[in-house]
Amino acid sequence: SIILAYIFYPVYRKLNRLIKNKTACALITSFLVTIIIALPLIFAANAIINKSVSFYHGVKNIDLADFSAKVSKFLGANIDLNLYVKEVLNKISIYIMQGTSNFILSIPQRMVSLFVTISLMYYLFKDGKSLIEKIKNILPIKMDHKENLGKRFNNLIYATVYGVILT
């Protein structure tokens, strides 16, 4: 929440210039951030689920009899390559299906986490400046050191967040 609020705070400020109500701006910005993050995740999750199901069904219907016969002639032994390959692919597809199933079952927990993240982000947009000022007032150091520490902290977060995004 803190990182998302930091990244999208310039959007909140620009919107706040247009709409003077902090509550409405924080709500709109939180909603926009949610859409920007949730839509690609929903499409990606849907694609992964569909591909894993089609992979599972494709593995069940694979036939390597011709390839197995060619390998058997080359190695000179009766190797049932079809059985081994199907067994390995079946294990892989079961692993993928279990991962997909675990992801689907964790959706309620992820929704609660998303709700908490959005709520916290909303309050950070709305009251972030006053929260930073309260933290500055609590610090037992001189004001110029507080300002210097704030600037360094801001530069560090800026470099870290945008460095990770760029990477």
DSSP the chain: -HHHHHHHHHHHHHHHHH---HHHHHHHHHHHHHHHHHHHHHHHHHHHHHHHHHHHHHHHT---HHHHHHHHHHHTS---HHHHHHHHHHHHHHHHHHHHHHHHHTHHHHHHHHHHHHHHHHHHHHHHHHHHHHHHHHS-S-HHHHHHHHHHHHHHHHHHHHHHHH-
What is the tens place of the pLDDT at every residue in 81-139?
667 777 887 788 788 778 878 878 888 898 899 899 999 999 999 998 888 888 888 88
Q: By C-alpha distance, which of 144, 129, 137, 112 is closest to 12? A: 129
- 29 burial (CB, 10 Å; 0-12 / 13-18 / 19+) is buried
Which of 16-30, 66-80, 91-105, 144-158 is predicted with the least confidence, judged by mean pLDDT?
A: 66-80
Q: For the segment 1-53, what is each residue's pLDDT rounded down to a tens digit? A: 888 888 899 999 999 999 889 899 999 999 999 998 888 888 888 888 788 77
